[in-house]
């Protein structure tokens, strides 16, 4: 952290600043120039509040040099994290395709979609039991019953299941869930993240619609600070001025997150665009950019879907896309 | 809701659509043109899922004409909602200034700030006990103890208190809190909103950093659908490309929200800009645009603040700003 | 400018950097720490290319401390610039209202609007002769004839005229125009800005839809670097994710631009929202935030307007808004 | 175009609307419902101004069904446009890599880079002679001399050259230039676009930092309306809240633009991220998403570059990236 003092800062103010640094347990390297004094902070600055330093009356500006995350930081953990989910590995050259409907609607629906998705090559099953809907009048998910149905589909197919949690008090229902998903709207629900940090389950953490990559990594850090190191980052499109697609897939986030962090990065092309025909080109580009996984919506009857129907692929469409995905995975040297 | 059918839609598809509408309890007014058929939906369309309709294979496009919110909608509730908080009214021409520190830090701090703010004309006290911080290593608030300290300041000054909830399980601690705040990061924490809809306390609902006004009103609708009609909307800046201010205060949201809805609208100029000297011009412009209240950060020692120090006003600065605010309130005919 | 060297930078690299600084005519103050070396650049750094410095193989990061604009910078020109336009002053406590139609359409139209606007208190006339339209098939303005019609309205009313230039070769037509407007889409048409820097006419420079305040000031600097110091900055709304208003008026830009620069700042509430009824609250809030002027669209027959009709006020509506504007100007102590 | 009338619209108003439609040469299909009347507009609505219709006092809302562009629209031109540039085809399965420095700096520099880029597989040479720089104090390009130097490099290597125009009066200097580039800041410089529509040279049109895909296509339409059908669209990153990359590459724009239009789409991964190591993953993902070309910055001495040095690849780095690009082109079946 580099702190630039205001012009005319007095010696007693520099001494005051020295005392503050002592209290924070970091060292300051003071460089007095003709016009200004610059202080370089050395040590563990991840606990130093950049805003508090910036509010000191004699400080002109503060710039962080080190990233504010530690457990998620590749600098301190150079090797890729590989997460094993029921025998399917993700990260470190391993890539998986997670497929399923937006919402679990019935036993028949989830089992039928699971079998079809598996037959096309998907290795994990997704499906929403608790649904975050913008409108209180929209279908809110089957909730506890939805998780039971997912477990039936798991029993039938052997596929590990991925499903979203919306509140800490739902946690007991997730005992047999393989991967707990945190949705974009809850990326900064810090109380929930803290609770998930105490579990020993892989967490699929979706990037918020208007959150920076650094904020995503800080939310991963919340989970990791609690002891749970199994975090999978998910890019699912950000909110911009463009309206031709529902969100804007930030493809650069894949290589950037993988450079900043050792955590696996998966991409959700279904929510990113909100357009079924775009799942194929976005999936291929995500793999080409280095993604460790894909989450794709598949529904056996999209026009009857209780949520997000329009963006889902039908099983036959998904099968065609999976052939292209498999080819690109092979070309890019991805193991599954 | 206007539904435009694809060219070449067959009669049996139109009949299928008629059955779907019957099932939803809305009427369809079919207009067959040479090239296309247009269907106007009449009735309570707030429960119709625009996405599900859009996913029908024969539908080209759907456009909502009516707003998807009802309880929050001024069309169905033309008079301003006025909320009484310990004798202080907000909305319908009444305006209040809520002041206090970002975080409650000690009894001395909160009581001192409360007395100073009250002396300058603030009528309600704010202070964070549960703090949503980007970093897990930053100060997370005094939590339960923070609420106790707020209650001491309330006992001392008689000021109603406003403080943030971050999770439903904290609700029992809010028994004596006057206004429960939902922070920007939790605006779409729908499980929390549902719980708050079951309380009988005023809710101060902050707009998310990247949420539209319609989404804010839909989140208010979540609370109101549960029976709690006392919702105060809060504009606190949105996230844009501009970096000269922390966020971009969306001043247009004040007149627009008040036109779309009957709920009171307050503005947080401290978080919007993140710059103390900007609190005055933004406060004056918010009143001129019709705001029903202001929330301003005041700290007796900003450089020692454990969070968000740089944006806080010192009591003397706040006193000067309040003189300007009082003048503008008078000029705009606002009652307090 | 603060330059932080990479860890392990060698002495010969520091000497290389010293030579580069010598070539640029700036001094470097080197502070060697245990882990890193920090160099503070002193002197006129406005000509130092931050990107070139950042690309040096041994540089970790560069941070600009000083603003990159000089002529527009309040630090070097503490007093407000006051621009006199045909006897009407703008800046330094003086405020003017500029009114008129989006496009000049006929002599009758522009003269009628001019007289009505003047009667309501507007002191300058705006009207588009060259129109930047998104579609090549939309009305492109009356061009040279439009300027002639504006001059007729000026002769009739004595009001100075403000109209937009779209290309340098149109400049000869602007001889009798009082204020040349640069539209948002041309804010970074640097060749045009250079030409305008050689004129001696006030330039009304509109902020681009996605340009930062710093970029706006850099575009003003282009004009001022050519010798023309009469630049009026105009905030007209920026592009964000919000769709309830056409653009998002960045109200914070008013106090911020006036703090960073000595140039006058005017606001265009008509284009910012694109909604006639919102002109009043946005105008009042702009004055309360410190604006030096307003540009308001007025049309005698908005539904027949050849461009941007929906956002225009009718003369009677404008008259009502002007009464409120006049009151607020009085309250804020603005002279006209 | 669908026009929804306000509730209570009278018959004489509907007749007035009929007359307006007659004047515009489009037919209206009126559907009177119990609550509202809906009018479907049939015919060539590309010349109908949606804003003017929306401003009619009895109109509630207007929605465009058809795209407002015609020449650029794939619906009216289903086959891919293939543009031949000195024997190198772009579009319709053909893909080219355009490489070169941000700015032309000297004969030695441009010739050396051209030879190196060609040896690595680039087929066209880019280089800026006229440079749009944010600061008036930054290097503005060698201008006319820069074009001469590009022509020398063309003579030496036989590579067609691509260079940017900033103003219509520079056009005579572009006689021997193969592709004229319009930069992001000039995407809506409509006077320039009109002039380029009168030339017979391919135009590389870069998307503006905050322009939608529809606006990009409308700018292409400006050129095509003048008779020049050789437009190459270029995605180069849009401006968002994210700061980890300079801009956000909108990868979805590739498949979307190619679906909406028949024009070729190229991608500039150098400007999109502003980070040299990211050129490789972004190039591969662009090809996987269907891009028809890439524009990559290469400089023989990035740290001495007079502009945008940090984002340039050195020739050896470019050579390594080209091997990956060549492989991906082969995998995706792209011809060069």
What pLDDT digit, counting tens, does each position of B169-215 carry? 999 999 999 999 999 999 999 999 999 999 999 999 999 999 999 99
Q: Which two tokens stand for residue D224?
A: 């095509």
Residues of C in contact with B250 (CB under 8 A): 240, 242, 248-249
In angstroms, the CA C260 to CA B102 distance is 28
In angstroms, the CA C270 to CA C277 distance is 9
In angstroms, the CA C95 to CA D102 distance is 44
**Cross-chain residue pair C243–A243, CB shorter than 8 Å:** yes
Contact present, B248 and B210 (Cβ < 8 Å): no
Phi, psi of C60 (to 5 degrees): -85, -50
Residue with tokens 């609370």: B223
Mean pLDDT of all residues in B267-284: 96
Q: Quick one: pLDDT band at residue D332, thresholds 50, 70, 90?
A: very high
Q: What is the pLDDT of residue B314?
A: 93
Q: What is the pLDDT of residue A120?
A: 98
Q: What is the pLDDT of residue D58?
A: 87
Residue C297 has pLDDT above 80, yes or no: yes
Q: What is the pLDDT of residue B308?
A: 59
Give one DSSP letter per residue of B146-200, joined into a string.
HHHHHHHHHHHH---EEEEE-SGGGGGGGTT-SEEEE-GGGTT-HHHHHHHHTS-
Residues of D in contact with B243 (CB under 8 A): 243
In angstroms, the CA D62 to CA D41 distance is 10
D-chain residue closest to B248, CA distance: D241
Q: What is the pLDDT of residue A156?
A: 98
Residue A98 has pLDDT above 90, yes or no: yes
C63 touches chain A (CB under 8 A): yes
**Cross-chain residue pair A29–C29, CB shorter than 8 Å:** no
**Cross-chain residue pair D273–A290, CB shorter than 8 Å:** no
Residue A25 CB contacts under 8 Å (≥ 6 apart), including other chains: A43, A44, A47
C289 touches chain B (CB under 8 A): yes
Could you give the C-alpha distances from B146 to B110, B162, B195, in angstroms and in order?
9, 12, 22
What is residue D46's DSSP assignment? G
Q: Which two tokens stand for residue B24?
A: 């939803």
Which chains contact D through at least 3 pairs of Cβ atoms less than 8 Å apart?
Answer: A, B, C
Q: What is the pLDDT of residue C301?
A: 80
A38 touches chain D (CB under 8 A): no
Residue B111 has pLDDT above 80, yes or no: yes
Q: Write the secondary structure of C130-166 as one string of H (helix), E (strand) and C (coil).
A: CCCCCCCCCCCCCCHHHHHHHHHHHHHHCCCEEEEEC
D7 touches chain B (CB under 8 A): no
Contact present, D291 and D96 (Cβ < 8 Å): no
- The beta-carbon contacts of D179-182 under 8 Å, at least 24 apart in sequence, are D179/D85, D179/D124, D179/D203, D179/D204, D179/D232, D180/D204, D181/D126, D181/D206, D182/D206, D182/D219
Distance from CA of D334 to the nearest CA of A (A): 15
Mean pLDDT of all residues in C12-21: 88
Contact present, C243 and C235 (Cβ < 8 Å): no
Helix B107-120 with B315-331: angle, nearest 10 deg: 30
Mean pLDDT of all residues in B47-75: 84
Residue A308 has pLDDT above 70, yes or no: no
Mean pLDDT of all residues in C319-333: 98
Q: Which of D71, D81, D54 is nearest to C137 (CA)?
A: D71
B88: left (phi over 0), alpha (psi -120 to 50) or beta: beta
The chain-wide mean pLDDT, for chain B, equals 93
In angstroms, the CA B100 to CA B161 distance is 10
Q: What is the CA radius of gyration of chain D?
A: 23
Q: Quick one: pLDDT band at residue C210, thresholds 50, 70, 90?
A: very high
Q: What is the pLDDT of residue D78?
A: 95
Q: Which domains does chain A have, with CATH numbers?
A: 2-63 (3.30.70.1140), 74-331 (3.20.20.70)
A11-54 per-position pLDDT tens digit: 898 988 888 888 888 888 887 766 678 888 877 777 787 877 87
Q: In degrees to the nearest 10, what's the CA dihedral of D54, D56, D59, D64?
A: -30
Q: What burial letters (b/e) apply to D255-294, b meaning 16+ CB within 10 Å?
A: bbbbebbbbbbbbbbbbbbbbbebbbbbbbbbbbbbbbbb
Residue B302 has pLDDT above 80, yes or no: no
B13 touches chain A (CB under 8 A): no
C-chain residue closest to A33, CA distance: C29
D87-111 per-position pLDDT tens digit: 999 999 999 999 999 999 999 999 9
Q: What is the pLDDT of residue C23?
A: 83
Q: What share of chain B is helix, strand, coil (3-state, %, to 5)?
A: 40, 20, 40
The region of weakest confidence among B79-93, B128-142, B277-291 is B128-142
Name the residue among C250, C277, C288 with its Cβ closest to that of B248. C250
Q: Quick one: pLDDT band at residue C67, thresholds 50, 70, 90?
A: confident
**Residue bearing the bigger pLDDT, C139 or B294:** B294
Q: Which two tokens stand for residue B31?
A: 């207009």
**Residue bearing the bigger pLDDT, C211 or B2:** C211
User: Would you give the distance in Å from CA D112 to the centre of its chain?
Assistant: 28
Residue C309 has pLDDT above 80, yes or no: no
D226-247 per-position pLDDT tens digit: 999 999 999 999 999 999 999 9
C305 touches chain D (CB under 8 A): yes
Residues of C in contact with B289 (CB under 8 A): 281-282, 284-285
Q: Which two tokens stand for residue D334?
A: 């792209």
In angstroms, the CA D118 to CA D114 distance is 6
Residue B33 has pLDDT above 70, yes or no: no
Q: What is the pLDDT of residue C308?
A: 58
Contact present, D45 and D203 (Cβ < 8 Å): no
Q: What is the pLDDT of residue C195?
A: 98
Mean pLDDT of all residues in A216-240: 97
The helix (H) or strand (E) run that includes residue A273 is helix A269-273
**Cross-chain residue pair A190–B222, CB shorter than 8 Å:** no
C239 touches chain A (CB under 8 A): yes
In angstroms, the CA C170 to CA C149 distance is 16
The region of weakest confidence among A212-216, B49-53, B159-163, D303-307 is D303-307
What is residue D309's DSSP assignment? G
Question: Which residues, in sequence order, are bridge partners of residue A3?
Answer: A39, A62
Name the residue among D138, D167, D302 with its Cβ closest to that of C191. D167
Q: What is the pLDDT of residue C65?
A: 73
C225 touches chain D (CB under 8 A): yes
The region of weakest confidence among B123-132, C294-303, D57-66 is D57-66
Name the 3-class secondary structure at A231: strand
Kindly report the length of chain D. 336
Contact present, A312 and A102 (Cβ < 8 Å): yes
Q: What is the pLDDT of residue B202?
A: 98
Residue C141 has pLDDT above 90, yes or no: yes
CB-based burial label for B316 (10 Å; 0-12, 13-18, 19+): exposed
Q: What is the CA radius of gyration of chain A?
A: 23
Which chains contact C through at least 3 pairs of Cβ atoms less than 8 Å apart?
Answer: A, B, D
**Residue bearing the bigger pLDDT, D312 or B197:** B197
Q: Which two tokens stand for residue A52?
A: 């508090």
CB-based burial label for C301 (10 Å; 0-12, 13-18, 19+): middle
Q: Quick one: pLDDT band at residue C43, thresholds 50, 70, 90?
A: confident
Mean pLDDT of all residues in D173-182: 98
C32: left (phi over 0), alpha (psi -120 to 50) or beta: beta
> Do the strands C96-100 and B124-126 form a parallel or antiparallel pair, or are they unpaired?
unpaired
> Do the strands A37-42 and A27-32 form a parallel or antiparallel pair, or are they unpaired?
antiparallel
Angle at Cα A257 formed by Cα A255 and Cα A258, nearest 5°?
60
D140 touches chain A (CB under 8 A): no
Mean pLDDT of all residues in B33-57: 77
């Amino acid at each position: 952290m580099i702190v630039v003092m205001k012009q005319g800062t007095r010696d007693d103010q520099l001494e005051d600043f020295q005392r503050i640094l002592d209290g924070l347990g970091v060292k300051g390297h003071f460089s007095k120039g003709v016009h200004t004094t610059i202080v370089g902070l050395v040590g563990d600055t991840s606990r130093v509040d950049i805003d508090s330093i910036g509010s000191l009356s004699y400080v002109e500006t503060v710039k962080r040099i080190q990233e504010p995350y530690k457990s998620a930081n590749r600098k301190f953990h150079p090797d890729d994290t590989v997460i094993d989910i029921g025998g399917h590995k993700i990260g470190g050259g391993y890539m998986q395709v997670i497929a399923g409907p937006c919402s679990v609607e019935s036993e028949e629906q989830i089992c039928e979609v699971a079998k079809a998705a598996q037959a096309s090559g998907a290795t994990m099953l997704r499906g929403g039991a608790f649904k975050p809907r913008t409108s209180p009048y929209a279908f809110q998910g089957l909730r506890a019953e939805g998780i039971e149905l997912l477990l039936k589909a798991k029993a039938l197919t052997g596929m590990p299941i991925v499903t979203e949690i919306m509140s800490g008090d739902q946690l007991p229902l997730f005992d047999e869930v393989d991967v707990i998903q945190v949705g974009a709207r809850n990326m900064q629900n810090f109380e929930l993240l803290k609770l998930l940090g105490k579990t020993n389950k892989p967490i699929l953490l979706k990037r918020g619609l208007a959150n920076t990559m650094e904020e995503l990594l800080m939310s991963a850090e919340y989970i990791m600070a609690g002891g749970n190191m199994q975090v999978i980052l998910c890019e699912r499109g950000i909110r911009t001025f463009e309206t031709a697609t529902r969100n804007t897939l930030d493809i650069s986030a894949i290589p950037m997150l993988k450079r900043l962090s050792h955590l696996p990065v998966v991409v959700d092309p279904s929510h990113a665009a909100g357009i079924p025909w775009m799942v194929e080109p976005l999936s291929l580009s995500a793999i080409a950019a280095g993604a460790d996984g894909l989450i794709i919506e598949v529904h056996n009857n999209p026009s009857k879907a209780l949520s997000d129907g329009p963006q889902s692929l039908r099983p036959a469409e998904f099968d065609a896309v999976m052939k292209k995905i498999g080819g690109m995975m092979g070309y890019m040297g991805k193991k599954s």
